[in-house]
A = this chain, B = another copy of it.
Amino acid sequence: MLTLVGLGLQDYRDITFRGYEAVKNAEEVYLDTYTSRISSSIEDLQRFFGKRIIEAKRNDLEEGSRKIIEKAKEKDVVILVPGDPTIATTHIALVLEARKANVETKIINNASIINAVCSLTGLQNYRFGKSATISWYRSKAFIETIYANLSIDAHTLLFLDLNPPMTIKDAVNRILELDSSFKDYFAVGIARAGSEDAVVKCDRLRELAHFSFGDPLHSLVILSKKLHVIEYECLTYFASAPEELRDLVL
């Protein structure tokens, strides 16, 4: 059996009792270090669970996933995933491969960056459109996602590349290179979502490039052109939004 266990947002204390039990009963435990990170090291996790934990890198989870799936035919295998195991395509694809190979699978959910972003900003989950990733080298598709979401008055959550970690400043520059008309759009920068020292700041995109967010990981939300009044008030209280954001309130 292959069980994917979400670790939640911050450190090992964010695992659920159900997830903890699955780890304790597992015969082999991996930690996904490819799709995201939490602040506990593999050593912290080994101490907490009292178990050896094997690092699983990109190849172990993607092209080379057959190895883990083969083991899960014989043994109870757990893969620990920072955040929730349903956000990255990697994990869904892995579960699908396992099911094709007749391996029983289970997912133990946890909070993901998406929950953290709503908590930190006060933006309403149901008003988000599709999300996208801004990566260093690959596609410019994210800009099309922003356009699409704006066309239906939805916010866009942008994940920033992790390898190496992209900052909000880098992301703003990439957006403005592709479409400089975004410079006056309101957005929210979020640093270290889910950690004790998270930083959240709402401002026009061009201003966010100059704000000190500190260390990665960073994320960015491009706001819809219309805000619910509670969203506006939350951004004022939680993200020091400028007064003029009020013009967006429905």
The residue that A152 contacts in the complex, of B85, B107, B149, with Cβ under 8 A, is: B149
A154 to B128 Cα, complex, angstroms = 11
Question: Is the CB–CB distance between A109 and B119 below 8 Å?
Answer: yes
Q: State A62–B63 Cα separation when bound (angstroms).
A: 50
CA distance A176 to B110 in the complex (A): 35
Number of copies: 2
Bound state CA distance, A111 and B84, in angstroms? 8
Contact A15 B13 (CB under 8 A): no
- For the complex, count residues of A whose C-beta is within 8 A of B: 57
Q: With A17-B14, A151-B152 known to touch, is A122 a contact of B96 (CB < 8 Å)?
A: yes
CB–CB B6/A111 < 8 A: yes
Within 8 Å of chain B (Cβ to Cβ): is A139? no
Check A136 for interface membership: any CB of B closer than 8 A: no
A8 within 8 A of B: yes
Binary CB contact string for chain A from 118 to 153 against chain B (1 if under 8 A, 0 otherwise): 110010111111111100000000000000110111
